[in-house]
Amino acid sequence: MSFDVARIRQDFPILGSMVRGKPLVFLDSGASAQKPRAVVQAMVRSMEERYANVHRGAYQLSEAATADYEAARAAVARFLNAADPREVIFTGNSTAAINLVAHSWGRGVMRPGQAVLISELEHHANIVPWQMLRDDGRGIELRVCRVTDSGELDMEDLAAKLADGKVGLVSIAHMSNVLGTVVPAERIVAMAHAAGAKVLFDGSQAVVHRKVDMQALGADFYVFTGHKLYGPTGIGVLWARLEHQERMPPFLGGGDMIASVSFERTTWAEPPAKFEAGTPPIVEAVGLHAAIDYVTAIGMPAVEAHERTLVDHAMRRLSDIDGLSLLGAAQDRGGVFAFGLDNAHAHDLATLLDRAGIAVRAGRHCAEPLHARFGVEGGTCRASFGLYTTEAEIDYLAEALTKAREFFS
């Protein structure tokens, strides 16, 4: 379909809501995106007509639910242009996916004396699991690549930290949830592989804004979460090459991840079942499938083109506001803007914007080290766009910020 934002907005019932008597202007999609009617309806239909536990029942309803669950896996594989649906592991969210890699690859495959290399761009979900790995006495080092003043990855520093060949894994945000910076992913993969390191990308933001192709990217692991991609909470994805899954021990033990169990020993199921212990997110997988179908029908290139227009418009409008400071100025960025206003605390500013019906996030956005890097430890406000965001909403935000500047001055 052609990209018609007015028509697309009709698919999202919540966008017709009122906040404090004002039309809702939802600019917090980076935290969690709104859901199109197609996702809601698919999940309701699953619960009303096709619900049963999966992989376990010999009856028709269980077989139908299993088919729906595995169809969702196949849809994710197509969405990522993965070579094999077995490369797709369902998790609870991106955080769970990164923890799975930290446990199963970091503790099960990496060797003492190796290092994990992250960056100053990272969300806490891509910092804390590696700190826990570093601190558990296995001899794994944690290195941090610098970010430039413009908010881009310092590629010279990345090369320097890879140079000794001790880095076993590079784990980097594909797109920053604070600065909107899109990193040069294929170049990072080439540099890391040349130094003997594997690569994980946190794609929680990137898959929402850009077409992502696993075969072209060449990474080893990729994670994202359903609720930012217009799907439900409670489901995330770890894409992992099959040869890596074969080497990784399970993260969680229990039902459905086993081949056989006795009191003497347990043998594991084949990947990806080996990493999906217990009853999985069945209805959530159906919702994620519907969300993927929805954005695929629109077309990710069209979504990206729409967002580039929004980013250019936002840069013009927000840069013209006296006293407003934008965090970062990357050349390649998505629809995420963190900002501060002179004399205004981020939470106070967000509260004032809420009175105008504008929803933005305030705080440090689960990226405290990045805020410290830019000297704004008190936090920022963040406006993040979805495919339903309009230029008129950005204009309304700019007008509200201009009024807020007058209020706080």
Catalytic residues: 366
**φ, ψ dihedrals at 312, nearest 5°:** -60, -40
Separation CA 371–CA 104 (nearest Å): 30
Question: What are the tokens at 172?
Answer: 């980097």
Provide the 3-class DSSP secondary structure of residue 11. Answer: coil
- Contact between residue 214 and residue 244 where contact means Cβ atoms under 8 Å apart: no
Provide the 3-class DSSP secondary structure of residue 264. Answer: coil
Residue 312 amino acid letter = D
User: Kind and range of the H or E element at 117?
Assistant: strand 115-119
Separation CA 216–CA 186 (nearest Å): 8
For residue 139, the tally of other CB atoms under 10 A from its CB is 12
Separation CA 230–CA 226 (nearest Å): 7
Question: What are the tokens at 337?
Answer: 């803007």
Separation CA 213–CA 103 (nearest Å): 26
Separation CA 60–CA 51 (nearest Å): 11
Query: Residue 22's Cα: distance from chain center in Å?
Result: 30
Question: What are the tokens at 295?
Answer: 């954005």
